[in-house]
Structure 1
């Protein structure tokens, strides 16, 4: 018998990706997968790519999750807190939702419009000192998808003093799976195909999380919906702090920060991140340069929003929490073509 794990909210895209990764994990035994409207349906009926995974989705009842060693919460924002509160303290939890990421309750209320459920250990192992905190934690809040793409590009530069924490600008495009699986008019194929559209301009909920994790003091963030199922490409720009070659200084900061990281790749000079290269993986690809006109540092970052941006990151954290090698059941290599 392996480590008993369960997924609450398994009918969504992130929940389905969790089921896929758990099915291929050598140490995990999936003992429960819950849903709301789709409770009672076989997993393979909800996620056809998981044909052969012989399990029926059940209602999200904390009693049905309490026997697991670790539970992944893949619930809509605002719902994880109530479920977590009813689970025994001995059950380890990884929350893919936003409920427990922020330290500032006022920021939570401002961006999410409800009461804050409390703060858990932040689940980004690549931040300095965070890996040990995750390994010692019983409850971990995994990152937001846009947040991880931006934080990995920006945090080492601010920490090294290479760029200013003021006037950070991010434009990031995401595939439609990042908006969830609920039927919405603006996500219909006829609306999305052949079109790019910004949304939540100037008020996206990942802004306080990015600022909290990077130390950015001022951040302008514009998300863009892209006509593809999954993937995020973020362009992060900031003002350099000195007249020295900003591209070289930024590249040194990134390569130093991620020299021993299994999932973060600073690409060779001249090679640029692409969402296709990270699909199906837990990888983040980075490249850096300086704008020849403005002098601003530019970092391009690509992740799979369901991989490093959600389910893969959650499994990475769970491995640490359970004393397993961090890379167990995960890959840094994408699928192609």
Structure 2
């Protein structure tokens, strides 16, 4: 069966990456691409790397244009997806790459986003450990999927195995993330200009205000944490793509070094796209560019009584578009890795 697809926000980074992956998907026909300010223009003007889609023009983003497809991907800024999802009842599968359907708590949405709260959808991080298994089970047959925030899924995947196994304390978590500016979208922002970021590392959303914090806390509670306290500090660095998240947690009393490493080995030993590296080996963002992989290195520091997990992802693939397509594959009963690769691009 071939599924017809519409992609909104197709002129942006996330929308463009969804299109790049779907263009190689044998079960997908990309029929419609939409935008807002760029509507009426050729897609290729905004995504010149997508040569196989040069025949498509950007249409207006309206419920009428998005309806009538088998699958709709929404790659819109937070607060914009809900107005469309409410009107797409005739679409069999909707995947939202924005934030509107990620959070289960209306209070958390009000505190970190504001505006209208929309119902939570199945969370699109299949490998994420939960108290009852993996998030993958909640995606089987799903008709509405919320793709993750890139920083949030990276940190959640880093720490959830330790929470689920009871070998770390979720009340003392610290993460610092080196992040490429493509994660902030394609809209012009002065602080993301090349002249501002080249040769510099720039912290932002410091002090517990980053919008991905409640998403991480939600994931870790689903893994079994009774309470989550997280210090979260992102830093923009001069690389177009990528996240390198260095996360640490206090080791729970009685947990041995063997217990700690075994928690991550059990969680990801059978996973294709989330891989724990050998002891003493740590990933680089260069190792995952273009790939749907999250690579992790783990170190146990007994002097500090902490475990440190260093995780690298491509924020536009495993962090966003790859997770969205992987979740779509699961929901439709297709091979989970269809159109997705573990191989990055080097140098």
Name the TM-score class by shorter chain: over 0.9
How far residue 88 of structure 1 moved from its aligned partner, in angstroms, is 2.2
1:325 aligns with 335
| 8 Å Cα contact 1:98/1:141 also seen in 2 | yes
Query: Secondary structure, in 3 states, of the residue corresponding to 1:68?
Result: coil
Summarize the alignment of residues 174-253 of structure 1 with structure 2, pairs less than 5 Å apart: 174-202=179-207, 203-215=209-221, 217-246=228-257, 248-253=258-263
Query: Secondary structure, in 3 states, of the residue corresponding to 2:169?
Result: coil
Over the aligned positions, Cα root-mean-square deviation in angstroms equals 1.3
Query: Secondary structure, in 3 states, of the residue corresponding to 2:251?
Result: coil
Where does structure 2 lack aligned partners over 5 or more consecutive residues?
Answer: none
| 8 Å Cα contact 1:250/1:288 also seen in 2 | no
1:280 aligns with 290
Structure-2 separation of matches of 1:250 and 1:123: 26
1:121 aligns with 122
| 8 Å Cα contact 2:127/2:271 also seen in 1 | yes
| 8 Å Cα contact 1:44/1:52 also seen in 2 | no
Structure-1 separation of matches of 2:107 and 2:90: 26
How far residue 243 of structure 1 moved from its aligned partner, in angstroms, is 4.8
Structure-2 separation of matches of 1:250 and 1:108: 33
Structure-2 separation of matches of 1:12 and 1:42: 13
Where does structure 1 lack aligned partners over 5 or more consecutive residues?
Answer: none
Structure 1 residue 315 and structure 2 residue 321: aligned? no
Query: Secondary structure, in 3 states, of the residue corresponding to 2:168?
Result: coil
Structure-2 separation of matches of 1:290 and 1:306: 30
Q: TM-score, normalised by structure 1?
A: 0.97
How far residue 65 of structure 1 moved from its aligned partner, in angstroms, is 1.3
Summarize the alignment of residues 69-108 of structure 1 with structure 2, pairs less than 5 Å apart: 69-108=70-109
Structure-1 separation of matches of 2:170 and 2:134: 20
2:314 pairs with one of 292, 304, 309: 304
Structure-2 separation of matches of 1:218 and 1:232: 22
1:111 aligns with 112
Summarize the alignment of residues 28-47 of structure 1 with structure 2, pairs less than 5 Å apart: 28-47=28-47
Deviations 1:99-154 (A, max 9, x none): 00101001001000212111111111112342122112110111110011111110
| 8 Å Cα contact 1:66/1:91 also seen in 2 | no
Structure-1 separation of matches of 2:249 and 2:20: 37
